[in-house]
Chains A and B, each alone.
Chain A
Amino acid sequence: MKLQRKNMLRASALGALVVSGALVLTACGSDDNTKTADGSAKPSAAAAGDIKCDDAKGKLLASGSSAQKNAIELWIKNYMAACSGVEVNYKSSSSGEGIVAFNQGTVGFAGSDSALKPEQVEESKKICTGGQGIDLPMVGGPIALGFNVAGVDKLNLDAATVANIFNDKIKKWDDEAIKKLNPGVTLPSTAIQAFHRSDDSGTTENLTKYLKATAGDAWPYEAAKKWAAPGGQSASGSSSVAAQVKQVDGAIGYFELSFASSQNIKTVDLNTGAAAPVKASGENASKAIAAAKVAGTGSDLALKLDYTTKAEGAYPLVLVTYEVVCDKGNKAETLPTVKSFLNYAASDAGQKVLLENGYAPIPAEINTKVREVINGLG
């Protein structure tokens, strides 16, 4: 009896294994088929066609902002697949660290969330013989306001309310100011727990620039990398802030959109004064960046963003990250690689990669200038 039962069990287990295995295998097969039918060769061919390797060779070191880490890594992957014998290595640390490394001459270019400050430009003249460091806007992206409030799926806020939440003035989720912006949404009386960054951060700087420009009296602090407002809770790094928001009921925090999408955190739609509140997305951020003006002089293309834009579907809470290079006096051994890599990044194919990954491409008008400057690098 016992033996028989065991055998039967074993047989049925084997059967189940065969069936599920077959299912898995066929699933794989059909997936592959559709891909090839769609022409999976298309994107890679396009990418390879767009990448001009020129005289690129050897190893290129770069370092800086972690906000553009994912974008740069995709570019590097595509670029190194197209240009054999070239190695590009981006150490994602932080904007400050990237600029320090650039001004010490240890990297070919640096990534930064904010444009070079005058004293940093001054310092760069030592490294860029006959030239100076310049900013090339290359990656844009929305800063998402992630929230975790039980029972609330959609939340609209405007700049002043956001400022008051992070300023410790609004303490409950069912506050009148929030209710007014969200008709028809049942808000709980949970206490608001606003999380900000405890480390100095470009993301903080961009958020506070936005609040300073749009929230009026509600945000009395200067824009800075260091969090200035009292109250609230803090965590170190975007990932920790996102983890806290995910974990704590009643929490709200800010981080790059990719952290929200990868952890399924709901994000706030911003009430900018346009007809409908705007969702945080790469496309919407791109529309807001389109309103930016070049503020840099000469070949420096540092941007001045228009945070107060009321354009339909433009998400104004954005950050633009730059690649910092020398306009003249780049190191001879890395110059061809820097030029060819940045050329790919600024190309249509390179910018298209951004949109597919939650970032925002740089508007065409500015992008054209970026390409001109890259070709003129010496």
Chain B
Amino acid sequence: MGKPVKLLSALAALGLLSTAASADVIKVGVIGTMSGPYALFGKNFKMGIDAWVAENGAKVGEHQVEFIYRDEESPNPAKSKALAQELLVKDKVQYLAGLYFTPDAMAVAPLLEEAKTPLVVMNAATSAIVEKSPYIVRTSFTMWQNTVPAAKVAKANGSKKVAIAVSDYGPGIDAETAFRKTFEAEGGSVAEAIRMPLNTTDFSPIMQRIKDSGADTIFTFLPAGPPTLGFVKAYIDNGLKAAGVKLMSTGDVVTEPDLPNIGDSGIGILSTYHYAVSHASPENKAFLDQLVKGGGKLDEVTMTSVAAYDGARLIYKMIEATNGQRDPEKALAAVKGLKWVSPRGPVSIDPATRHIRQNVYLREVAKQDGKLINKEIQTFDAQPDWAMSAN
């Protein structure tokens, strides 16, 4: 950023130029896991946003857009709130975005209305987040959205008795509730429901307990990151896979960067998710090409990059609709009902809930050209957030 731009933005911050619509800088604060064990996903936020900016330029009309990144390495609501406050007060951001963990997103929500700032959630997946403020819109997914198809698939594949094992926090409890409700409605039964603390690393006792419960299928959700690998390995190494106990999960448990570590013994694991890096469409190909061109590695791409890419699209749309003014109602109105084709497939923003509506795919871990991928084998069209919409 050059000196004149800095000066102008400083003046704008003082309100002297607040009515002028030209040559200003609109700042977007992105809070993401840029360091720590979940850093890969923060990196993907940046990769996705960079891809969008590379394709569409750093300007919307006359307005320069600038993304400011802040690091939140763990689920830490107090720190997230402080970061958001700093971005709002000191940096005068007009939009907030990012947020990997639900508790962090929840902590930021109360600030939005006061600061008249829309928030684009790019990962955190508990349904209730959007209820915390009318200024929240989400481009990632919700646990209900991905879990309801998982329960249907499990039933269709002949599972009768299931053991549910989820991480003990917001999205985990959403996943448990969603699976239980759907699976029982379809006539199945739940033998065991285990809530695992977020910092669990030894899953062997949990596997043994599941085995003792006599369940024929495990449904699991853990946030994508270090623990998921341990869970899948424990499932294989404790002999549950060999004994024919099926594993059904949301895609968080088999994100692409983890597949090489799981190895060939992971082939055949089923999951339901809104995005697979292997998704076959021209949009996805262009998106991935752009990521690679921007310096990203294909082996490191996760779902948060596509959520960030689509999130940047919404932010550009909101800036365009308000002509750079701070008008959150108008901004939100501009994206409600918006439809487009994302790298993950056709999507739209549900005007009632501000959740993204999207296809959810059933995927199977498979080997293609010597590389493990999530191969999409079935599509559930235009899934809403099942917690809030009836259809």
A binds B: no
Q: Which residues in A have some Cβ–Cβ distance to B below 8 Å?
A: none
